[in-house]
Amino acid sequence: PAVGGKRERSEGDGCPAAAATVEDMAQHGGYRQPPKQRVRGMNPNMMDPNQLFDDTSASQHPQPSGYAVQGIDMGLPMNNFLSEPVANVAMAYGTTIANQGKDMVHKELNRFVSINKLKYFFTVDTRYVAKKLRLLIFPYTHQNWELGYHADTRLTPREDFHANAPDLYIPTMAFITYILLAGVALGIQKRFSPEVLGMCASTALVWIIIEVLALVLALYLISVHTDLTTFDLIAYSGYKYVGIIFTILSGLLFGRDGYYLALAWTSCAIMFFLVRSLRMKVLSSMGAATSHSSKNRLRMYVTLALAAFQPVVSYWLTIHLIW
C-alpha cells in the first residue's frame, strides 16, 4: 500500500518516470501491485477506522419465515414425558383409582340388583326363544309345565328343554319392539312425534311397575312361601308384549276386525299361560290344605286376577295405535 501511495503521489506530481521505475521494481522484485479500487460511495458495512466498537446491528439479517429460531424447541417431548418415572407413577395411581371406583359401583349395585341372578334370565339360545314364542302364542297343547331342577338348582332357560323357565330376554326385546312398532303405527297415521312416542314408552313401563308391585304386595299379604323372585314376576308380566306386537300388526294389516280377533286370541293365550305357569308356584301348597280354605282361595284369586289383568293392559296399550 505504501508503494501504491507513492505511485499515486508521483502521478499526482506529474512524474511519469518515477512511476515507471516503481512498476519495474515491483515486477522484477516479485512484488505484485494490487489493482486500483475506485471509491463509488461509502459502504455501510465497512467499519469506520475511527469507530471504537463494531456495529453488529447491520450485519444481522432476518431469518426467513417458516423457520424456528435455533436453540428453541417448539414441540412438546411427549415420548420423553411419558417415559418419565413421575408419569408412570401417575398413570398407575389413576388406574388404581379407576379400579377402586369400579369395584365400589359393583358393590353398591349388588346391594339392590344381583348381577349373577340377572345373567341367569338372559342365558337363552335360539331353540329356547323359538319354543317360548310358540308357547306364548299357542299354549294349549303344552303338557309339562314344571320347572326343571338339577341338584336343587333351577335350570337356566337354555338348559330347560320344555322352555318353562322364565327369562328376561324375550320381554325386553318385545318391549323395545313395541316402542318401535308404535312409532311406525303413529307415522302411518301422520300422528308421530317424539313426545307421543315417549308417552307410549313411559305408559308401558309404568304399567309393568304397577303390576309387579301389586303382585308382590298381594303375595306378601296372603303369606305365599314361594321361590318366585322379582325378576320372575317381571318376566311373567312382560310376556304379554309378544301378544301386543301380534295384535298391532294384525290391526295395521287387516283393520279393525283383525285387531279385535288378534286381541281376543292373544289375551286368551296369555291368561292360559300365566295360570298354568304360576299354578306350580303360587298354588303348589294347596294340596296340603282343604280346598275350601280361605287362604287357598285368596291364592287362586291372586293368580286369576293377574291373568285377567293382562287383556286390560293389552287393550289400553294398543287401541290408540290403531285409531
138-191 pLDDT, tens digit per residue, is: 999 998 888 887 777 888 899 888 899 999 999 999 999 999 999 999 999 898
223/233 Cα distance (integer angstroms) = 16
User: Taking 70 as the threshold, does the pLDDT of residue 11 lie above it?
Assistant: no
**Mean pLDDT over all residues of the chain?**
76
User: Taking 50 as the threshold, does the pLDDT of residue 296 lie above it?
Assistant: yes
Highest mean pLDDT among 87-96, 214-223, 270-279: 270-279
Mean pLDDT, to the nearest integer, of 264-271?
Answer: 96
314/309 Cα distance (integer angstroms) = 9
Residue 304 cell numbers, joined: 286369576
User: Taking 60 as the threshold, does the pLDDT of residue 62 lie above it?
Assistant: no
Q: Letter for the amino acid at 170?
A: I
CA distances from 60 to 41, 55, 67, 218, 253 (A): 22, 10, 16, 95, 88
Is the whole-model pTM more than 0.85?
A: no
Give the model's pLDDT for residue 49.
54
Give the model's pLDDT for residue 222.
80
Using DSSP's 3-state secondary structure scheme, residue 215 falls into helix
Per the model's pLDDT, the better-predicted residue between 289 and 322 turns out to be: 322
Q: Is the dihedral of CA 196, 233, 301, 248 positive or negative?
A: positive
Give the model's pLDDT for residue 13.
47
206-223 pLDDT, tens digit per residue, is: 999 999 999 889 888 887
Give the model's pLDDT for residue 112.
55
**Count of all residues that appear for the chain in the document:** 323
Give the model's pLDDT for residue 19.
47
Per the model's pLDDT, the better-predicted residue between 235 and 154 turns out to be: 235
Give the model's pLDDT for residue 99.
80
Per the model's pLDDT, the better-predicted residue between 164 and 227 turns out to be: 164
114/226 Cα distance (integer angstroms) = 19
Give the model's pLDDT for residue 177.
97
